[in-house]
């Protein structure tokens, strides 16, 4: 966290990002504060055109159904930017595959996510 960010505001912005990450597992976007104009970019490709589209993907997207757990979540705040790092663990559980994810969130003054940029590594065995 940078020194010029109010700790309470930083915690609220991290909570907004964490709600999104938690929804990757729960498939319940109701607790995710997405701005109506929110966009999502994954590996350079636009995968979310607005908040409603991103919420539908979290709820019903087959690409997220493989995720069964998140681990090692960390977050840093710099102004309106929340930079996260975590591991997604995918099904089937018995093979123990996980991929490291670096995801950045732009969170506005109302603690709504306005933009998401995701990058992730190749899945590998990890318990």
> Is residue 48 situated within a structural domain?
yes
**Section 10-33 average pLDDT:** 98
Mean pLDDT in the chain? 95
> Is residue 46 situated within a structural domain?
yes
> Is residue 105 situated within a structural domain?
yes
Beta bridge mates, 124: 98
pLDDT above 60 for 23: yes
CATH number at residue 76: 3.10.450.50
pLDDT above 60 for 3: no
**Rounded Cα gap, residues 111 and 18, in angstroms:** 12
Sign of CA dihedral 50, 111, 78, 72: negative
**Section 6-21 average pLDDT:** 97
> Is residue 1 situated within a structural domain?
no
Beta strands in 23-112 (DSSP E): 34-42, 45-48, 67-78, 81-90, 97-107
Measured between its terminal Cα atoms, the distance across the chain in Å is 29
Confidence bin at 47 (pLDDT 50/70/90): very high
For 44, the token pair is 């350079």
> Is residue 2 situated within a structural domain?
no
Count structural domains, the chain.
1
3-state DSSP percent of the chain in helix, strand and coil, to 5:
30, 45, 25
What domain range includes position 97?
A: 7-125
pLDDT, tens digit, for every residue of 67-119?
999 999 999 999 999 999 999 999 999 999 999 999 999 999 999 999 999 99
**Section 48-63 average pLDDT:** 96
> Is residue 31 situated within a structural domain?
yes
pTM: 0.93
**Neighbouring C-beta atoms of residue 19, cutoff 10 Å:** 19
């Amino acid at each position: 966290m940078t020194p010029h960010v109010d700790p309470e505001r930083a915690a609220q912005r991290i909570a907004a990002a964490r709600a999104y990450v938690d929804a990757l597992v729960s498939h319940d976007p109701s607790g995710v504060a997405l701005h109506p104009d929110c966009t999502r970019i994954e590996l350079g490709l636009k995968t979310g055109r607005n908040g409603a589209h991103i919420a539908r993907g979290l709820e019903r997207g087959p690409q997220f159904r493989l995720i069964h757990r998140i681990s090692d979540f960390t977050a840093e705040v710099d102004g309106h930017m929340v930079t996260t790092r975590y591991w997604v663990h995918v099904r089937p559980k018995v093979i123990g595959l996980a991929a490291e994810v670096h995801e950045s969130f732009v969170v506005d003054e109302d603690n709504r996510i306005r933009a998401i940029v995701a990058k992730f590594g190749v899945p590998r065995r990890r318990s």
